[in-house]
Amino acid sequence: MLETLRLSGLAFVFICLCWGCSTRTSESPTPGLQWPSAPPEEQGFDSAALAEVVEQIDQQDLPIDSMQVVRNGVLILDAYFYPYLGDGKHDVASVTKSVTSTLVGIAVDRGLLTLDQGLLASFPDLAPAPSSDGKADIDLRHLLTMTSGLDCGLSPGEPELYETLQSDHFVKYALELPMAAPPGTQWAYCSPGSHLLSAMIARASQTSALDFANKNLFSPLGIADVAWPADPQGVTFGWGDLQLHPRDMARIGQLFLNEGSWNGEQIVSKDWVEQASESFIVTDDGQTGYGYQWWVLTGAFEGVYEARGRSGQAIIVWPDKDVVAVFTGRGLDVRSDVAPVLVAALKSDAARDPNPQAFARLTEAIQKATQPPEAKEPPTLPPMAAEVSGKVYRLAENQFGVSCISLRFDSPSEVWFDLTLGGDPFELPVGMDGVPRFSQIGPRGIPIGALGEWTADTVFSMHYDEVAGPSHLRIEGDFGASADSVQLEFTDPSEYFGAQTVRGTAVASCN
């Protein structure tokens, strides 16, 4: 997939060597309520190269939702891909962690927190009994760099995060995790640790991380449309599920590019920006560095750092070239598959000659990428469709928490998919003519687009797509010889969720 868009690491190194490394000597301009925009050539980019990227993503129907590129504070690419049209917020997944870290920095700047502040001392009412396991030595800085030593993040699939979400008290659960290593000695990607950072912000500021962010980060940056859920005790999720518009994600990147300053106001200190984007430890891939909840790239990408979320969410900051790039998506590794091609479109550190024809091509490609596919004539439904229509199937325990499903085949072109999740029922339309049908609110409060087809006489397959979120599942139900049971296969193209087979049995109701 995307072979024509990929550049080898050697080619990327060659590009970097040809450009050299410029040094920023002054703050880039920053936008007010709207980003200033210009044709790419005004900022040294090639519109034709950018158009080719947009066209191929659209033609290949790759799981990318948006791309934004800002240079010198000017927005030169603002592209969205059907079905996400950029008319609302997008779940940024673990990009949230970098925002949480920035709030910690603001709190440290104001003397509300310190890097040496002990974790257990911050929660005297919730902390477990004293022990000799080293937990009392965990400081704020260890949580920031994912080196707390907690037995968390060492297994694939983030099982500790799943267990946190099943608990009655997220912070207490995280505090009671056992130790796996002395603090500061081992890197492990622990989302519950990031939630503890949010809880520390709340304790120190006497308000939630969301309220603290609205006052001290989002409002000063002109970010007004935000959603950020909280746990049962009202602690804002520190690890993920923040929803921002992609252009507002770019504001976060531009703030860091401008060393913490925005329109002349120091939102977070320059010292914090420098520390947050510094590599304190090498991650488990043996190559990527990690700062304060920011990923720090090495080798050909030296000097670049990024906020990173599953399924392709990213804020990439490239100080040497005064560039911020933002991606949202549903499964593609944009850093290795798309970002290098965007880099190749940067031809100069100075303005290039105008190219109206290429810019028109780019404008047309961006517009076309928002258009829905053409509807196809839906095939005749197999006899099994009538047998399963309206039946309720109770599912065995599964990682998604879905207890029951039902399918209603009201017409050849449209199906209704009912599911019960956490005791709550959801009714989702499914397109059968090659055009997804949409529900405004899915199980996570994000619109869902769904496509379905019978791939065999007894097998119904469905694509379940969070329109403004990172999840994109393929669900395949095999009813076999009887409609009394179904075997469901859940797969995730991004491989964040492991493939799972779940058995369902027909019941009178889900009550």
Q: Following DSSP, what letter does each residue of 327-377 receive, concatenated?
A: EEESS--HHHHTHHHHHHTB--SSPPPP-HHHHHHHHHHHHHTTSPPPP-P
121: in domain? yes
CATH of the domain at 174: 3.40.710.10
408: in domain? yes
32-41, 426-435, 488-497 — which one is most confidently predicted on average?
426-435
Q: Following DSSP, what letter does each residue of 200-257 receive, concatenated?
A: HHHHHHTS-HHHHHIIIIIHHHT----B--B-TTSPBPSSS--EE-HHHHHHHHHHHH
Confidence bin at 335 (pLDDT 50/70/90): low
Cα separation of 368 and 85, whole Å? 11
Residue 28: is its pLDDT beyond 60?
A: no
290: in domain? yes
The values of phi and psi at residue 337, to 5°, are -95, -30
Residues 294 and 343 in one domain: yes
181: in domain? yes
Considering 168, 186, 221, which residue would you say is the last residue of a domain?
221
The per-residue pLDDT for range 223-236, each reduced to its tens digit, is: 999 999 999 999 99
Give pLDDT, residue 27: 45
Give pLDDT, residue 7: 31
What does DSSP say about strands 261-262 and 265-266: parallel, antiparallel, or unpaired? antiparallel
CATH of the domain at 438: 2.40.128.20
Give pLDDT, residue 285: 81
Residues 319 and 348 in one domain: yes
Residue 82: is its pLDDT beyond 90?
A: yes
Residue 71: is its pLDDT beyond 90?
A: yes
Nearest Cα to Cα of residue 494 among 312, 348, 313? 312
Q: Are 97 and 293 in contact (CB under 8 A)?
A: yes
Give pLDDT, residue 22: 35
Tally the domains of the chain.
3
Give pLDDT, residue 357: 98
Average of pLDDT values for 477-485? 92
The 10 Å Cβ neighbour count of residue 40 is: 26
The mean predicted confidence, pLDDT, of the chain is 90
228: in domain? no
Q: Which pTM value belongs to this model?
A: 0.90
Average of pLDDT values for 167-181? 96
* Residue 32, Cβ density class (10 Å: 0-12 exposed, 13-18 middle, ≥19 buried): exposed
Nearest Cα to Cα of residue 184 among 142, 151, 150, 222? 142
Residues 158 and 102 in one domain: yes
Cα separation of 247 and 88, whole Å? 11
Residue 10: is its pLDDT beyond 50?
A: no
The residues facing 503 across adjacent strands are: 487
325: in domain? yes
Q: What are the distances in angstroms from CA 156 to CA 284, 384, 491? A: 12, 38, 16
Strand ranges inside 53-203, DSSP E: 64-71, 74-80, 90-91
In this structure, what token pair is assigned to residue 334? 């944009």
Residue 217: is its pLDDT beyond 70?
A: yes
Average of pLDDT values for 190-219? 98
Residues 419 and 474 in one domain: yes
Give pLDDT, residue 191: 98
Domain that holds residue 466: 383-507
Residues 387 and 502 in one domain: yes
Q: Are 394 and 403 in contact (CB under 8 A)?
A: yes
Residue 202: is its pLDDT beyond 50?
A: yes
Residues 77 and 102 in one domain: no
Residues 82 and 102 in one domain: no
| Residue/partner pairs of 404-412 with CB below 8 Å, 24 or more apart | 404/507, 404/510, 405/488, 405/504, 407/460, 407/477, 409/381, 409/385, 412/378, 412/379, 412/380, 412/381
Give pLDDT, residue 298: 85
Residues 126 and 209 in one domain: yes
Residues 309 and 347 in one domain: yes
502: in domain? yes
Q: Are 133 and 179 in contact (CB under 8 A)?
A: yes
Residues 362 and 255 in one domain: yes
Give pLDDT, residue 293: 98
Please identify which residue in the block is written with the tokens 């209603």.
Answer: 408
Cα separation of 29 and 6, whole Å? 32
Confidence bin at 334 (pLDDT 50/70/90): low
Considering 206, 221, 236, which residue would you say is the last residue of a domain?
221
315: in domain? yes
